[in-house]
Structures are given as C-alpha cells and as structure tokens.
Amino acid sequence: MTDMICAIDQGTTGSTAVLLDRQLRVRGRANREFDQIFPKPSWVEHDPETLWQSTLDALGAALDEADCEPNQIVCVGITNQRETTIVWDRETGEPIHNAIVWQDRRTRGQVKQLSDEGHERRVQQRTGLLLDPYFSGTKISWILDQVDGARPRAARGELAFGTVDSWILWKMTGGEQHRTDISNASRTLLMNLDTGEWDPEMLDLFNVPREILPDIRGNADIFGEVKDVPGIADGTPISGMAGDQQSALFGQACFQEGEAKCTYGTGAFLLMNTGNEAVLSNHRLLSSAAWEIDGEVTYCLEGSAFLAGAMVQWLRDGLGIIDDAEEVETLARSVSSSEEVVVVPSLSGLGAPHWNPDARGVIWGMTRGTRDAHIARATLEGIALQNVDILTAMEHDSGDRLKTLKVDGGASSNDLLMQMQSDFLDCEIVRPWMTETTVLGAALLAGLGAGVFEDLGDIRQTWRENRTFSPSMGEEERQRHLSLWQEGIERV
C-alpha cells in the first residue's frame, strides 16, 4: 500500500488538491473553481464557506482519482492565497463578513492617511512591507469597524482572524487549532520581521487587537491533526504550511541566496532568496519571511504584479476575443509583432515597484489596423514587461545580476510568453518538470515536517528541469520595447 502526501492549494480563483507518492509522482489531482464577489468597483470578496467547500470538493475528487484509503495519507500540507482576510466567531466557526481578497482596494483612504502621517518608513523597517491596501492589516481594521459589535467582541477574544491558511487549518482540525506560519504572518503588516512575532507597535497603528491573532509557527512544524475530514484519517498530521509564493520558491528548490523564481498565476510574483538576513528594499520591493525550518529563518525579496493570468481571463471574459485561456498563444502568434500596441495590466492598480493603487489599465498605440491578435500579443508582452521593472529593482537591492529565473504557474506553459520573458529580462528562463510548484512546495514542507524527507539536500534532488528559454532578441529591439513600455506606464 503506497503512502501519499496530500497537498492543498487554496488559491484566488479555485482550490486544488494533489496527492503525491514519496517519489513525488502525482497520483490524484483535482481543482474546483468558485465565484468571485465584486460588491463595488475595486472591491473583491470570497465567501469563506465556499472556499472551504471547494477545498473539500477538490480533495474528494483527488482522493477518488488516487483510489487510496484514508490511512495511506501520511501528512497534509497547506498553501494559500496570501493577505486575504477572514474574521470568524470562535464559538460557532461562522465568518462575520466575507473574506476580503488581496486584490481588494477598499482601504485606500486609510492607507493614504497613514502614509500622509509619515508612517510608511516605520512600517517598512518593522515589517519589510509598504503601506498598501494589498496587505491584511487595514482589511482587519475595516471588518472590525464595519461589522456591528465586532470591535468589543474582538477585544473579549470572541473572534478569530486568519489569512486563508489559518481558516483552512481551523476547518481541517475541527476548530481546534488557530495558527499561521511565519510566511503568511509576514504579509499582514503586523509581524515584526526581525523577531518573527506580532509587533505591538504595528497592532496599535492598525488598531488590531492581539486577542484575535493566530499563533505563528515555522513552516515544517506540526500545525495540528486532521479531524472529521472525509477521506483522511483522523490524527493525520498537518505538517507543512506556507503562503503560495513562498511555497513556490520552496517548490522550485531555491534554497540558496540569490536564487529566484517567478510564478504566473492570477498575478505575477517574483521572489529572490536573500538568505538569513532580511534585505530592506530601497526600490519599493517587499521583504518577507520565506520560511522557517528548525528555528532558522530564510528571507526573500518580492515584487508583485497584481495581474498576469487574470489579464488573459479578461481577454476571454471582458473583451471576448478568445473562448479559452489556452487560445491566447495561438492568437498572439498569428501576428509577427504587436505593431507597437502597448497593454499595461493595471486593472487592479500597479504593484511593485510603482505601488499606484489608483492606476487604471491602458491599451495604447492602436491604429485602424489593430486587430484582436495585436492586443493579445501586446497583453502577453505587458505581462512580461512588468516583471522587468521588478527585476531591475531587485538587482539594485541585492547588488547581483540575475542570470537564471525559474518559472512556474499556469501561464508558464505558454512558450511564447516565456520566450518574451527571456528576451525582455535578457536572462535564461528555466521551467521545471512540475509547474504547479506552489502545491509542490506545500507537499515538500509537509513531507519534511513529517519526516518523509530528511533535509533540504534530500528535497533538492527531486527538482527536475523541463525546458530552458534563452534570449534571442537584439538589444536595439529590446530597448524599443522597454521604451514603449515606460511610455505606457506614464499613461496609467
């Protein structure tokens, strides 16, 4: 009877469950999408119970495909969309409000006020983050202020806050464990990056009571035991947890300082391992905890672009120029160039290094000869070009020039996009054999926590390359693209 690791990836548009054997062969996999909720422009919410139900549905389908018995699951790992904020009743387990998603911009006013009052530098020094509605701190405060009676209940310890990892852990343990891991905690604006603990000064600044916060753990710790989850035996350890982007960095085996990856999901997220010291950015990047293993913390620099794969969804659902996301590569290849059409993917504001929450999307440079194929190609170029800004800032902060970037996520299967990325970054792009490295990272952390893997060296041997993309664009053409891109950025 084959032992298996169960890895759960609760993402922005769907929940995925994967069952892997000890050789990391996929035995079962399932994904379940769920509805997005848009109450107002720039507001994005999820129903927390729907997140949980989609997780259960994906898990059930993956277990059926693997055809395994409950006691074959030796451990569980969880990874999740980060910053998304949930507050629930400790007694009943019922959320008091919909989850406020990381993309949501409703707290712009509070963020601007804090910035105008001169708090941003202090926030960065304490947390490694910048003041932006992206993070959890202002989202928590908004829920406590807007839901009747929430603040006094929070002060009495009747409510619990969690990012999605904590919510899924709570549900999987039957409400017995209220914990998070250091990678997710470092994305709340509330954790001191140096101590790895909740920071009283930040709690006071964002008006968040300590009573609602989860305990912070290392990433390969035992977070709890499964209770009443169909298909998994009670008592199975939940032994690995990480925010999705740190999980992908781990799944890419970027264990050495200077190694980096980019995940193309709903957004694009470029992370670089900075070793055992946090590097505070001078170019508006983020410094976070990558993971903590055996008490030793590894840090990372991160640049986030809010929209990547979601731009392709917009071409499908908003403009209707493709029927399926996979069609975008064929459509983009049907023309030899974008004919200087520029698409800036800032439909949810601009992320690093610009951090402009009020930015709007731009399609610029169209003529009467512009067709849907040019817009499709320019969209892929825009997805790739926004990462040039991030990597340039990252190289300045780290003092090193990146020669190789590992890639993963759904859009990394788009060969044209990956070639564009190699050309615009002027570096090699390496795609692994398993592009779902977010869920792979959760499985590896869980296996490490449960003793399936001995150490990082043991894990590194599991990483395998699929394809390398090398730069083929001339410098003059590359600079022309970069110049047009900067003009587009100025128009948002």
Residue 395 has pLDDT above 70, yes or no: yes
Which pTM was predicted? Answer: 0.87
Residue 401 has pLDDT above 70, yes or no: yes
Residue 107 has pLDDT above 80, yes or no: yes
- Chain mean pLDDT for the chain: 92
**Helix pair angle (108-116, 136-146), 10° resolution:** 120
Domains of the chain: 4-243 (3.30.420.40)
Please state the rounded mean pLDDT for residues 9-23: 91
What is the pLDDT, as a whole number, of residue 492? 79
Residue 404 has pLDDT above 90, yes or no: no
Q: ∠81-133-200 over CA atoms, to 5°?
A: 90
Read off the pLDDT of residues 424-440 as tens digits, 9 standing for 90 and up: 999 999 999 888 889 99
Residue 352 has pLDDT above 80, yes or no: no
Read off the pLDDT of residues 252-264 as tens digits, 9 standing for 90 and up: 999 988 889 998 9
Please state the rounded mean pLDDT for residues 187-205: 96
Residue 184 has pLDDT above 90, yes or no: yes
Please state the rounded mean pLDDT for residues 215-234: 95
Task: Give 325's pLDDT tier (boundaries 50, 70, 90).
Answer: confident
Please state the rounded mean pLDDT for residues 331-344: 91
Residue 1 has pLDDT above 70, yes or no: no
Task: Give 326's pLDDT tier (boundaries 50, 70, 90).
Answer: confident
What is the pLDDT, as a whole number, of residue 93? 95
Name every residue whose Cβ is closer than 8 Å to that of residue 79 and which is 6 or more positions away in sequence. 7, 8, 9, 10, 165, 241, 242, 243, 244, 247, 438, 439, 441, 442
What is the pLDDT, as a whole number, of residue 299? 96
What is the pLDDT, as a whole number, of residue 351? 74
Three-state DSSP string of the chain: CCCEEEEEEECCCEEEEEEEECCCCEEEEEEEECCCECCCCCCCEECHHHHHHHHHHHHHHHHHHHCCCHHHEEEEEEEECCCCEEEEECCCCCECCCEECCCCCCCHHHHHHHHHCCCHHHHHHHHCCCCCCCCHHHHHHHHHHHCCCHHHHHHCCCEEEECHHHHHHHHHCCCCCCEEEHHHHCCCCCEECCCCEECHHHHHHCCCCHHHCCEEECCCCCCEECCCCCCCCCCCEEEEEEEHHHHHHHHCCCCCCCCEEEEECCCEEEEEEEECCCCCCCCCCEEEEEEEECCEEEEEEEEEECCCHHHHHHHHHHHCCCCCCCHHHHHHHCCCCCCCCEEECCECEECCCCCECCCCCEEECCCCCCCHHHHHHHHHHHHHHHHHHHHHHHHHHHCCCCCEEEEECHHHHCHHHHHHHHHHHCCEEEEECCCCHHHHHHHHHHHHHHCCCCCHHHHHCCCCEEEEECCCCCHHHHHHHHHHHHHHHCCC
Please state the rounded mean pLDDT for residues 218-231: 95
